[in-house]
Amino acid sequence: MSNQQSTTMPSQQASLLGEYDVVVCGAGPAGIGAAIAAARGGARTLLVERLSYVGGLGTHTRIYCWCDTQGGPIFDELEERIGRLGKARRWFDAERHIYERGRVVLHGETLKAVALRMIREAGADLLFGTTVTGSPMTDDTVVGVFAANKGGLSLIKAQVVIDATADADLAASAGAEFLKGDSEDGRLQHGNFMFDLGNVDTERARRQMPPEDRLLELIADAHKSGKLRAPRGAFRPHAANFPYHLPEHTLVLNYWELEGIDGSDALAVSDLLTECQLIALEVVEFCREHLPGYESCEIARFWDVLSARESRRIVGQYTVTRDDVLAGRKFDDGIAQACFFIDFHDSPPGITVPYDLEFKRANTPPPGDWYEIPYRCLVPAKTRGLLVAGRCISSDRSAQASLRVMPTCMFTGEAAGTAAAMAIADGVLPHEVDGREVRKQIRQP
């Protein structure tokens, strides 16, 4: 496929779909928090999502573990509601003993429905199956979004837009300044492709699996014959032994770590998804032929998205830094608490998993402590009428490797929604909202 080029297209009239106080773009953890908070704050709110359900990586992939959180009102309520259904459990890493509240595992399908109920109870509208393509502007101020779906191209007017797309798509389209990747070589953290294997006799596989040297021989032969390929960018396991991960002496059949994924590059993502799905079929055929217990294995599910860890980061009124994370720094306008360690999945010369305990301790806030994310990190430095929530807020790359996890994204979304409702009530733009008041609205200082 050739590179994208600019061309002249016939004009297409965008019909007016609606007018809202707040439009939230993206229904992942950040978008869920933003939509609930804005609607509960009295703002007429619309949540737009390109897929057919909410939840982001917590439901679109097999990532059910919400990592290391200090808690927040909407997240705590979500966990409590899912827990009442028996579908939430707390997990603490006893080896490290450095996180105050540990982790929570939330059942993905239950999360979809419970979060949706909370959004509707708050009074927000939803628009599924819709992609936000850009923002109409008045001077330097966002005044709504353009949306595309089966009905064609539409305009949705809004006084405040919240970009919770994970990749800062709206912010970029509105001309907001952003950074991407490592400042020296541009590398991005690895992403993951996931699918589920079904109809496997795991007990027989455990007892009768060929020894490692024989497995590697079978894999090498399959590669040589062209029956088995490694996806481009396969990092863990390394491509030469795909799908065997030699450092950990284990088969990795349905969870592949890939380097060079830029979630904001639609063509590259599409090509990689195509390749990975075809290779998944090769893996199934290899397993059926060579692995005991896998004779009737099958693809049970392809997950909906590539799991990317990093792409754009906006340049905001403040940039949270590595030093802020490690010092457990607090701010007058600190609207979210975070305690996850600086977790890179990088290619050389960067660092990646597995880490030893010493590394984790050296790259984590002090034991029992946390750092705060200022409201200013959600506010683009120049573009008005827009707030950004989730992993693409204003941060340096090290801090982003900590704050990118799902609970923190939800906390920043809750703050963005709270601030948006305050802006509507006061008749001001988001950059004019006092972050200290947003903090007070969310939690007592």
What is the C-alpha separation between 213 and 44, in angstroms, rounded?
A: 62
Nearest alpha carbon to residue 403 among 369, 368, 373: 373
- So what's the architecture of 16-182+310-442 in CATH? 3-Layer(bba) Sandwich (3.50)
Write down the pLDDT at residue 132.
96
3-state secondary structure string across the chain: CCCCCCCCCCCCCCEEEEEEEEEEECCCHHHHHHHHHHHHCCCCEEEECCCCCCCCHHHHCCCCEECCECCCHHHHHHHHHHHHCCCEEEECCCCCCCCCCCEEEECHHHHHHHHHHHHHHHCCEEECCCEEEECCEECCEECEEEEEECCEEEEEEEEEEEECCCCCHHHHHCCCCEEECCCCCCCCCCEEEEEEEECCCHHHHHHHCCCHHHHHHHHHHHHHHCCCCCCCCEEECCHHHCCEEHHHCEECCCEEEECCCCCCCHHHHHHHHHHHHHHHHHHHHHHHHHCCCCCCCEEEEECCCCECCCCEEECECCCECHHHHHHCCCCCCEEEEECCCCCCCCCCCCCCCCCCHHHHHHCCCCCCCCEEEEHHHHCECCCECEEECCCCCCECHHHHHHHCCHHHHHHHHHHHHHHHHHHHHHCCCHHHCCHHHHHHHHCCC
What is the C-alpha separation between 145 and 156, in angstroms, rounded?
A: 5
Sequence letter at residue 190: H
**Token pair recorded at residue 309:** 């860890």
What is the C-alpha separation between 207 and 111, in angstroms, rounded?
A: 36
pLDDT by position in tens, the chain (length 445): 445 555 544 556 889 999 999 999 999 999 999 999 999 999 999 999 999 999 999 999 989 899 988 778 999 999 999 999 999 988 765 554 444 457 899 999 999 999 999 999 999 999 999 999 999 999 999 999 999 999 999 999 999 999 999 999 999 999 999 999 998 899 999 999 999 999 999 999 999 999 999 999 999 999 999 999 999 999 876 788 999 988 888 999 999 999 988 989 999 999 999 999 999 999 999 999 999 999 999 999 999 888 999 999 999 999 999 999 999 999 999 999 999 999 999 998 888 888 888 888 899 999 889 999 999 999 999 999 999 999 999 999 999 999 999 999 999 999 999 999 999 999 999 999 999 999 999 975 4
Say if residues 274 and 250 touch (Cβ distance below 8 Å).
no
Strands 15-25 and 152-163: parallel
Write down the pLDDT at residue 70.
79
What is the C-alpha separation between 317 and 428, in angstroms, rounded?
A: 17
What is the C-alpha separation between 26 and 390, in angstroms, rounded?
A: 10
Contacts of 157 (CB under 8 A, 6+ apart): 16, 18, 19, 20, 143, 144
Write down the pLDDT at residue 11.
54
127 phi/psi in degrees, rounded to 5:
-135, 100
Contacts of 13 (CB under 8 A, 6+ apart): 153
> Torsion-angle region of residue 365: left (phi > 0), alpha (psi -120 to 50) or beta?
beta
Say if residues 353 and 128 touch (Cβ distance below 8 Å).
no
Write down the pLDDT at residue 71.
79
What is the C-alpha separation between 7 and 93, in angstroms, rounded?
A: 54
- Between CA 394 and CA 77, with CA 194 as vertex, the angle to 5 degrees is 55
Give residue limits of the domains in the chain.
16-182+310-442, 191-302
Contacts of 349 (CB under 8 A, 6+ apart): none
Question: How many Å from the N-terminal Cα to the C-terminal Cα in the chain?
Answer: 53
